[in-house]
Amino acid sequence: MTDQTPALRLENIVKTFPGVRALGGVSFEVFPGEVHALMGENGAGKSTLMKVLGGIYQPEEGRIFVEEVQTVMTSPLQAKAKGVMFIHQELSLAEELSVAENVYLGELPRKSFGRVDWARLYAQTDEILDRLKVSFNARTRVGDLSIANQQMVEIARALTVEAKAVIFDEPTASLTDAEKVVLFDVISDLRADGVGIVYISHRMEEIFKITDRISVLRDGEYRGTLVTAETDEDEITQMMIGRSLDLSRNAAPVEVGEVALRVEGLSCGDLFQDVSFELRQGEVVGFYGLVGAGRTEIAETLFGLRTPSSGRIFLKDEELKISSPIEAIGHGISLVPESRKEQGLILGMNCRDNITLPQVDDMTAGPFVADGAEVAIFDQYRDRLQIKTPSWRTSVGSLSGGNQQKIVIGKWLAMRPDVLIVDEPTRGIDVGSKSEIHNLLRDLAAQGYAVMVISSEMPEVLHVSDRIIAMYHGRIMRKFGVGEVTEDSLVQAISGIGGDGQAA
């Protein structure tokens, strides 16, 4: 591999933001036909490095080479002209426009006299969409697509040119398993065509499945590159965070208290049917299933975002009708949503206010007192969740993706709910912080909260839950009590095999 000309090479890149040295002289290269992972903790500088490469940020120092020709990347369109394509971590699509217009944004095919050639635009786009096996077409309005499908549009965009290199920044964060399979096929086609691929992800199993080499950043510094086949998760974790992780959980039996929430025969159209379960104070109950099994929809119903078609919800022993999130919050139910950008954060607002926003009412003892109290709350959650930000004044939009996720979690914790529902809590979060968040959820349970965790990651559900409820196609397939679950039985239950239908 080393006698080849790299598709891309970065040399000694330095990039600073106010108060942050995001990249302190990083060098990196990717060869044609190589899948090269870029790893590091939240805020380590991965997205920044790739944005320098993609012409979005200008570095203060350093050089970029495309096939060993030095190049200055002044804009994303220019990077594209040099054959460098970029799939962003945060979606960057124009919602009002069609899929086709987004895919060819800035470069719509034109007839003579400059008029857009719509027929060609749609035909070319549909050809790419066919490769991606998606269910929508070139004319669909992007705003009508799910987040996962919007991600597929981002990917389609990268396939419009003969790329020399394609950068994927956490592409699988919101994809279903079926879509992941398609994505990995696309990546292996690109690799076979000799394209150099940079792949950013926090998911170790993906990294070990599809990459050839792994480079690690820590606090904006380059820590080294390893051949994937010659290393393991532990070594990479060490390089990323400077220590090994102790993933064992102290197995002290949980002190389970009273029933905090009870759900009886809850249904919501064809989203989920006849769901019954209870959450007790002091326990973490994991909801496991494939994307689309109905778990998020149950959470949304409990939080007043959907109206059930039948069934009953009890808090302690009192029956509730919850018709809005405000009512749910009033009853002590909080939901940390799956998609932070849509439901969780105000990106232009600072870190402190995003965390304390829902409760300013409680603190209006006077403007100065309130201000100090809010900063104290922010400090507390910054420490507990290890949120990396130059100051509470920093706007949330400029934090790294994983740190934004931590702010969302902090915001809901700060409300001190009785029942805490978290939907995919560690999506986009690095391994070190992931285990911090798991410990935090365990601690909350130990303090008497009832915690419901929805996760599509088996190691996560197994690690964090006392009991697990497995769902398949809108129904509970099986309930596993403390110590009852095995990986095999869990896989079977979420695939619709071997469940007992309506476990007690």
401 sits near Mg ion (criterion: CB under 5 A): yes
**Nearest-CB residue for ligand ATP:** 402
CB of 79 to Mg ion, least distance (A): 18
Sign of the dihedral defined by the CA atoms of residues 437, 442, 446, 448, in that order: positive
40 sits near ligand ATP (criterion: CB under 6 A): yes
CB of 23 to ligand ATP, least distance (A): 8
Give SS3 for 276: strand
CB of 225 to ligand ATP, least distance (A): 16
55 sits near ligand ATP (criterion: CB under 6 A): no
List Cβ<8 Å contacts ≥24 apart for 457-464.
457/203, 457/426, 458/288, 458/487, 458/490, 458/491, 460/286, 460/426, 460/434, 461/286, 461/287, 461/288, 461/490, 462/286, 462/487, 462/490, 463/247, 463/249, 463/438, 464/284, 464/286, 464/438
59 sits near ligand ATP (criterion: CB under 6 A): no
17 binds, among Mg ion, ligand ATP, none (CB under 5 to 8 A by kind): ligand ATP
Closest to ligand ATP by CB, 36 vs 388, is 388
Site for ligand ATP in 388-407 (CB under 6 A): 388, 398-403
The H or E element that residue 296 is part of is: helix 295-302
CB atoms within 10 A of CB 180: 16
Q: What is the 3-state secondary structure (H, E, C) of 335-371?
A: EECCCHHHHHCCCCCEHHHHHHHHHHHHHCCCHHHHH
How many CA atoms lie within 13 Å of 5's alpha carbon, on the beta-carbon side? 8
Q: Please list the helix, strand and coil fractions of the chain in percent, rounded to the nearest 5, in that order.
A: 35, 25, 40
For Mg ion (CB under 5 A), the number of binding residues is 4
CA distance 269 to 286: 23
- Which pairing describes strands 419-423 and 259-268: parallel, antiparallel, or unpaired? unpaired
Which of these ranges, 17-25, 295-303, 333-341, 400-408, lies near Mg ion under the rule CB under 5 A?
400-408
Which of these ranges, 43-51, 363-371, 416-424, 453-461, lies near ligand ATP under the rule CB under 6 A?
43-51
- Which string of x and - marks every residue 85-104 that binds ligand ATP (by CB under 6 A)? ----x---------------
CB of 237 to ligand ATP, least distance (A): 14
308 binds, among ligand ATP, Mg ion, none (CB under 5 to 8 A by kind): none
489 sits near ligand ATP (criterion: CB under 6 A): no
Task: Return all residues near 428 (Cβ < 8 A) that are at least 6 apart.
Answer: 42, 89, 170, 173, 202, 401, 402, 405
Site for ligand ATP in 409-438 (CB under 6 A): 430
Is residue 299 within 8 Å of 421, Cβ to Cβ?
Answer: yes
Written as six digits, the tokens of 504 are: 């007690």
Which of these ranges, 21-29, 45-53, 356-364, 444-452, lies near Mg ion under the rule CB under 5 A?
45-53
- Give the residue, chosen from 45, 196, 344, 474, that forms a contact with ligand ATP under the rule CB under 6 A: 45
Q: How is residue 216 annotated by DSSP? A: E
Amino acid letter, 54: G
Written as six digits, the tokens of 272 are: 């989920």
40 binds, among ligand ATP, Mg ion, none (CB under 5 to 8 A by kind): ligand ATP
- Give the residue, chosen from 44, 47, 220, 356, that forms a contact with Mg ion under the rule CB under 5 A: 47
Which of these ranges, 39-47, 108-116, 123-131, 351-359, lies near ligand ATP under the rule CB under 6 A?
39-47
42 sits near ligand ATP (criterion: CB under 6 A): yes
Closest to ligand ATP by CB, 334 vs 400, is 400
CA distance 400 to 40: 12
Closest to ligand ATP by CB, 386 vs 489, is 386
237 sits near ligand ATP (criterion: CB under 6 A): no
Max CA distance (Å), the chain: 75
CA distance 186 to 192: 10
Bridge partners (DSSP) of residue 286 are 453, 468
Closest to Mg ion by CB, 200 vs 490, is 200
Closest to ligand ATP by CB, 40 vs 308, is 40
- Which string of x and - marks every residue 12-31 that binds ligand ATP (by CB under 6 A)? -----x--x-x---------
22 binds, among Mg ion, ligand ATP, none (CB under 5 to 8 A by kind): ligand ATP
- Give the residue, chosen from 9, 28, 29, 47, that forms a contact with ligand ATP under the rule CB under 6 A: 47
Residues of this chain that bind Mg ion (CB under 5 A): 47, 89, 400-401
Residues of this chain that bind ligand ATP (CB under 6 A): 17, 20, 22, 40, 42-48, 89, 388, 398-403, 430
